[in-house]
Structure 1
Amino acid sequence: MDSWVRFNAQSQAKERLFRSVQYACTLLGHMLQKGGANSDLLTKIKQLEAHVSLVRKLMRLGNSAEALEAAKRAIHLSDCVLRLCITVAHLNRAMYFACDNVLWAGKTGLLPKLDQTKWSQRSFRYYLFALILNLTRDAYEIKLLMERESRSGGAGSGAKGAWSSPSSPPPDNSELLHSAGPQSPVLPSQGALSARLQRELHLLVAVLRYNPPLLLDLVKNLCDLFIPLDRLGLYQTGPGFVGACGLTSSVLSLLTILYPWLKLKP
């Protein structure tokens, strides 16, 4: 098992490269179709996309084992939220790869009676669940970092209006509360809400700016999310948008392979 995982890790960069080519063909075909290109050229691009997709499926044979090993490692994380999100996400990835392997067997003729539409929909459902869990993990990590940044006070140095000074006493609102009576709760003013939103936005920008791995993982997952949504018919965006999202996420994945420090851990 370990030797197969090590071998599979070496082929990830090639698979990501083929994925970039596949979605580049999707985007290019859409642009040429809108530009009125001849049907022969469009057919060749679609054939190239189909061949690259089939090669990718071949390269992903056995990826379920790697996903299961990753799930076994994640189950020992101390943080219960991260443990749940990462472990279940890897299990969904394992199921996605298993369905993808079955689909590859159907496309190559090894399983000629396979219902390819059914298995394709099934694989994209597992892919969608994995992406939702990955985005939940990203949101949780952003929340933790924003709370840490807020406690340290580092994000408030450049936005004095968004932070209240701890040395200045709070305003005396006893007369206002007495005149309002017990039936009239004091609601925050529009200015206070605006200041709070500015503070939260400033914290979010600061967290993402100083955590490139988290930013890349968030953008990559958001781009990938539109692919299963479109394939499942839940939110159809068209081949052009899907191609652009797939190409962007593939390039970001290649960056994390070329520069391992950009990969979000654990």
Structure 2
Amino acid sequence: MGAPAARGIYSPAQEQSGRFGGRGRTEPRPALPAGTPVVSRGLGWREMQRQSALRDPTKHRRATQYTRMLLTYLLEPKAGKEEVVMKLKKLESRVSTGRKWFRLGNVVHAVQATEQSIRATNPVPRLCLTLANLNRVIYFVCDTVLWVKSVGLASGINKDTWRRRAARHYCCFLLLSLVRDVYEISLQMGRVACDRARREESSSWDLPAYSVADEETEWLQSFLLLFRSLKHHAPLLLDTVKNFCDILIPLDQLGIYKPNTGIIGLGGLMSSVAGIITVAYPQMKLRTR
């Protein structure tokens, strides 16, 4: 006879032999009905990370870079953390350098996004996204010029000029993307308001009289309407959060708004997580109509 199994440890062989839990008989599990989906437990976030890393590895590198930036900001004022802070800064520099090797793929993706936006049927998103993606292409070109200068492949390049030029086009890209988001939000709020008015009209016979209190709560109603609109449109919420968090970076580089590194790190991390979600789950990406 083989060695007895350890108590309290479950294995498939024990279940088949009927020795699990001290029972002397086998208790087969009930069969699932045909067509029932099987859900894997505890692997949702890891599976999402694996899929997003395969489809777009720059998202994970970006999230790692801004996580290190945020941790550096939080640990730097504390005594005795100097060595940890130095290691985090070196790791952040290495990750930032590693991300730059994917710039060629970024340029190709931006050109493809420009071609797709030109074919949009709605004129407002078509204009905003086409101009935004053109600015994104120019931004990646400027970033490539900076990389050529940093590795010593070319001389005579003014690094500060090209850095500001890249930040300016990146800022234009994000501003135009936010304009598109605001337009989509206004359309979604209009749909939600029409649906609500239609339900109230069908469910009530007498309309309440207008009062001054309606004016006082108008801002609250507008906020609730915005909340309901984004609640029922997760891709639009993710895209808006991503663009809003990203715009802090070029605003800091251009000197328009100077947040601390903690805010930049937190914004970059939130934007990266939103990007990872849209890569892992393509249905969460805001579509161009």
Residue 160 of structure 1 aligns with which residue? none
Matches within 5 A, 1:221-240: 221-240=243-262
| 1:63 CA displacement | 2.1
Q: 1:233, 1:86 → 2: CA distance?
A: 25
Contact 1:226 1:245 (8 Å CA) reproduced: yes
Does residue 115 (structure 1) correspond to residue 158 (structure 2)? The answer is: yes
Q: Which protein shows a greater Rg?
A: 2
SS in 2 for 1:61: helix
1:11–1:59 contact (8 Å) kept in structure 2:
no
Q: Name the residue aligned to 1:184.
A: none
Q: Which runs of 5+ in 1 are unaligned?
A: 1-8, 158-162, 172-187
2:12 paired residue number: none
Letter in 2 for 1:47: K
* Matched AA of 1:106: K
Structure 2: gaps of 5 or more residues: 1-51
Look up the equivalent residue of 1:139 and give its one-letter code: V
1:201 aligns with 2:244: no
TM-score normalized by structure 1?
Answer: 0.80
Question: TM-score, normalised on structure 2?
Answer: 0.74
Q: Could you tell me which of 128, 135, 138 is aligned with 2:171? A: 128
2:240 to 215, 218, 221: 218
In 2 relative to 1, CA 91–166 (structure 1 residues): closer, same or farther, beyond 3 Å?
farther
Cα deviation, 1:206-258, whole Å, max 9, x if unaligned, reads 11111111111111111111111112211111111101110111111001111
The residue identity in structure 1 corresponding to 2:233 is N
The structure-2 alpha-carbon separation of the partners of 1:169 and 1:189, relative to structure 1 and needing over 3 Å to count, comes to: closer
State which of 68, 82, 98 in structure 2 corresponds to 1:25: 68
Is the CA contact 1:155–1:206 (under 8 Å) kept in the aligned structure 2? no
Aligned length: 236
Higher helix share: 1
Structure 1: which amino acid aligns with 2:127? L
Contact 2:107 2:141 in 1 (8 A): yes
Q: Does 1:61 align with 2:61?
A: no
Q: Which moved more, 1:102-111 or 1:125-134?
A: 102-111
SS in 2 for 1:60: helix
| C-alpha distance in structure 1 between counterparts of 2:74 and 2:94, whole Å | 20
| 1:25 Cα deviation after fit | 1.4
Look up the equivalent residue of 2:243 and give its one-letter code: N
Q: Aligned pair in 2 of structure 1 residues 138, 203: CA closer, same or farther (>3 Å)?
A: same
**Counterparts in 2 of 1:1-266, with a 5 A limit?**
13-153=56-196, 167-168=205-206, 190-266=212-288
Instruction: Please state whether the residue corresponding to 2:79 is helix, strand or coil.
Output: coil
CA distance change for structure 1 residues 169 and 12 in 2, over 3 Å: closer, same or farther?
A: closer
In 1, the alpha carbon distance for the partners of 2:254 and 2:198 equals 41
Moved more, 203-212 or 104-113: 104-113
Measured on the aligned residues, the alpha-carbon RMSD in Å equals 2.5
CA distance in 2, matches of 1:203, 1:88: 30
Q: Is the 8 A contact 1:23 1:244 kept in 2?
A: yes
Change (3 A) 1:170 1:245: closer
Q: Distance in 2 between matches of 1:190 and 1:34?
A: 52
**Residue pair 2:53, 2:59 contacting (<8 A) in 1 also:** no
Q: What's the CA shift string for 1:42-82, capped at 9, x where partnerless?
A: 33322221121111111122422321221122112121111
1:96-118 residue CA offsets vs partner (Å, 9 max, x unmatched) = 11111111111222124432222
> Displacement, 1:169?
6.8
In structure 2, C-alpha distance between the alignment counterparts of 1:169 and 1:27, rounded to whole Å: 53
In the TM superposition, what is the alpha-carbon distance from 1:156 to its structure 2 partner?
Answer: 6.9
Amino acid in the other structure paired with 1:242: I
Q: Secondary structure at the match of 2:247?
A: helix
Query: Residues 94 and 26 from structure 1, CA distance in 2 versus in 1: closer, same or farther, beyond 3 angstroms?
Result: same
